[in-house]
Structure 1
Amino acid sequence: MKILSRDKRLIFVILIVLLIVVSIGVIWVLARHVYSYKSKKQQRPPIKIGFAMSTLKEERWFFDRKYLIDAAKKKGFEVEWTNANENDSTQFQQVKYLLAKGIDVLIIVPSSFDGAKKAIELAKQKNIPVICYDRIAMNADIDAYVSFDNIEVGRIMAKHLLKKVPQGNYVFILGNPKDYNTALIRQGYKKVLDPYIQKGKIHILLEDYCYKWKKEYAYEYIAKLLQAGNKIDGILAENDSLAEGAISALAEKKLAGKVPVVGQDAELPACKRVVSGLQSMTVYKPVKKLADLTVKIVEQLVKNGTLLYTKTYFNNGYKMVPAYYIKPIEVTRENIIATIVKDKYHSYEEIFK
């Protein structure tokens, strides 16, 4: 009986040793698996975004670039950006360059709404998702459109001008005809002002385009009208740069600040003009929100192959494109601190110094 008991103890010890050995082996295998998984995860290259910009001429685009890069970095993404200087051929070559750099998604600000199709086709041939940022590309296979509500931008401008000048001679200084936002803004202000135009309360002195958004056109339009002896009661300029051109022409006739002028983009010089009374109003478009939303969409597209939910779609002639809009905000001397300064878009010192 004692021998049997000794054998049992020996067997028990052997089993314990075997159990320990097996446990160590299992732990070792699991540790190797976890280490291998972490190593692979660490070695996996970050998502690379190609940001094909159209221009950096206006101040706002520097904010777009900064905020988009910042938002991407927070997610661990990389951004490779280019600037086409409003040239379709240049943008086509730059998209080729971005694709050669191995981007995972293309964000494009089309240099023209009808000239970006070929560049977008290059991306789609490589199964690269394409997001139109701020400007839409027509007749092209894009995955998403992220912008501000540009029709609302036009409405805001018109409503403000109507309060200032309910009747009289209006001038409409439109942006680049190759930028579809130009048409959308026009659609917005016409919805508000057409009834007054039809009743004869508002007379259109001029409605013309500024190619590539050049403020020199705006200056020339206003200078020629004033030289011809026309009385101008209100000016709607489709961005702050064009408003600046118009105000320069008014200043030469000592009319700056006497004729209401509205614009959009909330550029720092425009905010200064709003405070001083030279420009009646600007439309603030919260660029940081647009950049943050765009990066969220990038993450969904690349990681999950899906999009954020949206109720809105834009018919670009090729398909109904999922559209995401950020609301624009009217900025006057009365609310500039509660909007621009509060959002840290420009500081109080920058605007008021």
Structure 2
Amino acid sequence: MFNKSKIIIGFFIGLTLLVNTACSNASLIEKSTASTNVKLTSDEKKIYVGFLLDTLKDERWYKDKALFEEHIVSLGGNVKTLAANGLDDVQIKQAELLIDEGADVLVVVPHDAEVSATIVKLAHKAGIKVISYDRLIRNAELDYYISFDNEKVGEIQATEVLNQVTKGSFAYIGGAESDNNAILFRQGAMNVLQPFIDKGEINLVYDQYTKEWEPKIAEKNMLEALKKGKNQIDAVIAANDGTAGGVIQSLSTIGLAGKIPVSGQDAELAGIHRIIEGTQTMTVYKPIPVLAAEAAEMAIKVGKGEQIDTNNKVNNGQIDVPSVLLEPVAVTKDNIVDTVIKDGYLTEEEVYK
């Protein structure tokens, strides 16, 4: 038989715990919405840099993380890196956490260019400046932007493909439309391709962005392109090495892998291996060691309130953001040693094992 007195006591204990938990959560929420301005570092005199990454799913971001953190420490600063795994709400919460911990500056690789404007607003409310790293945060009073000339990246991709074939049916497999870089890559590629399209020498049979940069989605998109082109595709501009991998997987199903040019970007090890094998034509190397070093120096200076020298301005839909734009480099089978290996980005053993 049930003991009614025990049930009643249990009910009131549960109710008390629920009320206490609710009160505790409310206090946490209240704390997270107001900057405590308490710097949670071992040395409050050091500049505290918050580094917010979109994801660590892709190989290249591990390199950015390691190099950026190494440079911040070498410059006498402290750094905490948080990755949101492609979730906007998580990235915003992570920004709030770093703000509450007293970060002097936020360096952000945004997941969504538009949504990340919220991070800038939150930081500015707490008197903290924001640097957009490699990807541009749009429609916000962004303080600085450091990246590569991403329109030029697309131009390099299209140019290298045109070095292989200048006529026929082309497909464009882009990146995530939520990433402003993907838009710039496409714009750069079209700068090169459009004159050939206008003359009727190139037929762009497929032109599609790839959600979340997912290789599996790129593979699916390429299958659609092949279906639309009746398996008669002469070249593919793929926005990065991940999408190139998906494209090449689709091409292999009909025996076209290695028979038509496919571009890439990021100089990922898998992409370099495909270039050596002959299934991928090229990749674009954006020297990450240079980007990480420049961004770290900028972050420390911004944290100290020092003057920042920039070489460009990029409009983000709201303002012309003071920017530092670095030069991307085309990598083919002929210059792997003189680019990614020479820079120490990849080792000779990794590349040629």
TM range (shorter): 0.7 to 0.9
The amino acid that maps onto 1:194 is Q
Deviation of residue 225 (structure 1)?
3.5
Deviation of residue 304 (structure 1)?
3.6
The amino acid that maps onto 1:323 is S
Farther off after superposition, 313-322 or 335-344: 313-322
> Structure 2 matches for 1:1-353, cutoff 5 A?
44-227=44-227, 229-307=230-308, 309-353=309-353
Aligned partner of 1:31 in structure 2 is: none
Give the match's secondary structure for 1:262.
coil
Give the match's secondary structure for 1:81.
strand
Give the match's secondary structure for 2:264.
strand
Q: Matches of 1:315 and 1:265 in 2, distance apart?
A: 24
Q: Matches of 1:224 and 1:208 in 2, distance apart?
A: 10
Q: Matches of 1:238 and 1:275 in 2, distance apart?
A: 19
Give the match's secondary structure for 2:163.
helix
The amino acid that maps onto 1:200 is G
Deviation of residue 172 (structure 1)?
0.2
The amino acid that maps onto 2:306 is G
Give the match's secondary structure for 2:93.
helix
Unaligned runs of 5+ in 2: 1-41
Deviation of residue 170 (structure 1)?
0.5
Give the match's secondary structure for 1:261.
coil
Q: Matches of 1:250 and 1:61 in 2, distance apart?
A: 27
Give the match's secondary structure for 1:102.
coil
Q: Matches of 1:130 and 1:225 in 2, distance apart?
A: 40
Deviation of residue 310 (structure 1)?
2.3
Report the RMSD for the aligned CA atoms in angstroms. 1.3
Q: Matches of 1:133 and 1:125 in 2, distance apart?
A: 20
Give the match's secondary structure for 1:142.
coil
Q: Matches of 2:342 and 2:119 in 1, distance apart?
A: 39
Deviation of residue 227 (structure 1)?
4.6
Deviation of residue 333 (structure 1)?
0.4
Q: Matches of 1:177 and 1:133 in 2, distance apart?
A: 18
Q: Compute the TM-score of the two structures, normalised by the length of structure 2.
A: 0.86
Q: Matches of 2:95 and 2:43 in 1, distance apart?
A: 27
Aligned partner of 2:21 in structure 1 is: none
Q: Matches of 1:260 and 1:334 in 2, distance apart?
A: 15
Deviation of residue 318 (structure 1)?
2.3
- Per-residue CA deviations over 1:221-250 (Å, capped at 9, x if unaligned) read 222343562301000110100000000111
Deviation of residue 305 (structure 1)?
3.4
The amino acid that maps onto 2:55 is T
Unaligned runs of 5+ in 1: 1-41
The amino acid that maps onto 1:352 is Y
Q: Matches of 1:152 and 1:256 in 2, distance apart?
A: 26
Q: Compute the TM-score of the two structures, normalised by the length of structure 1.
A: 0.86
Deviation of residue 120 (structure 1)?
1.4
The amino acid that maps onto 1:244 is G
Q: Matches of 2:181 and 2:215 in 1, distance apart?
A: 17
Say if 2:144 and 2:323, in contact at 8 Å, map to a contact too. Answer: yes
- Per-residue CA deviations over 1:87-107 (Å, capped at 9, x if unaligned) read 211111110111112111000
Deviation of residue 44 (structure 1)?
4.7
Give the direction of change, closer, same or farther, for the CA distance of 1:43–1:58 in structure 2 (3 Å limit). closer
Deviation of residue 43 (structure 1)?
6.1
Give the helix-richer structure, 1 or 2. 1
Deviation of residue 328 (structure 1)?
0.5
Q: Matches of 1:94 and 1:331 in 2, distance apart?
A: 36
